[in-house]
A and B are shown apart, each in its own frame.
Chain A
Amino acid sequence: MATRKRPLSPHLSVYKGQISSVVSVMQRITGGGLAVGLGFFVYWLGAAAYGPDAYATAQWFLTTWFGYLCLFGFSVSMYFHLCNGIRHLVWDIGWGFEIHQVTAGGIAVLAGTVILTAITWAVALAELGVL
């Protein structure tokens, strides 16, 4: 079948970002982040199963600057996906479809992500003696 370049209909890039669409796209992106994070989860469990030496290596890796960066990304993705996932479950039982509710929910998800991530890292860094 011969194919030729046809004009495409306007796609995502022509639309101005809105809280509803941006949060929706971020649900997919953070979901991807959590799929990567699943690899860290498996590595951590596997290291513990292989014994104290392997566990010490995993701990060394996770406390390098790169390890911290990965864990930070993991935690942000986790909280965003968790908060927005709850928002989706609320929609699934039929609540919150008015535009002002969708907007308020999106803002609540973003605020919740920032606050929960900040609390988590404040506690974690205090325990590690960094803060």
Chain B
Amino acid sequence: MTLRSALGPQPGSRRSSLGHARGLGSTGRGTEHWYWERLTALALVPLTIWFIVQLLSGVAADYDTMAGWLTVPGNMVLMVLLAFFYFWHAWIAVGVVIEDYVHHDATKIGGMIALKFACILFGAFSVVSIVLIGLGG
């Protein structure tokens, strides 16, 4: 990114405002990171409310009830989506916290790698668990 582009569109420039703004920011990736944090948050609002209502209606009361609940395709899909977006949101947001508060480079990079591997490992474990229970163990 040149200083010239950081100063905004030049008089007479034929680039659109969006074309100009794309790719700005300290990482050169513009608003991508910010956007996906919001998108995952937006998905989690209805999913979280649905999940709490389900829990309060007693779906986790015992093993058979929960297993039966997850055999319903709609419930299985929404649980997979909840796990997926919950981990995706944590991937982004916990990463921001690490970047903000860990100042030692090796620890920071190690923490970011550990976070991403943990999200992939436990996210995959969650999704596989949900599907296995739904398909009858």
Contacts and interface: CB of A to CB of B under 8 A. Distances in A.
B1 interface: no
Contacts of A46: 125-126, 129
A120 B137 contact: no
B132 A31 contact: no
A88 B42 CA distance: 10
A107 interface: no
A50 to B, nearest CB: 8
Interface of B is mostly: helix
A110 to B, nearest CB: 18
Interface stretch (A15-23, A37-45, A98-106): A37-45
Nearest to B66: A48
B128 interface: yes
B14 to A, nearest CB: 28
Interface string B54-68: 011010101110110
Contacts of B48: 78, 82
A108 interface: no
Contact of B58 (A31, A38, A41, A127): A127
Given A38-B86, A49-B133, A51-B137, A89 B42 contact: yes
15 contacts: A28-B97, A32-B94, A32-B97, A35-B93, A38-B122, A39-B122, A41-B126, A42-B125, A45-B125, A45-B130, A46-B126, A46-B129, A51-B137, A124-B55, A127-B56
Interface of B: 38, 41-42, 44-45, 48-49, 52, 55-56, 58, 60, 62-64, 66-67, 83, 86-87, 90, 93-94, 97, 122, 125-126, 128-130, 132-133, 137
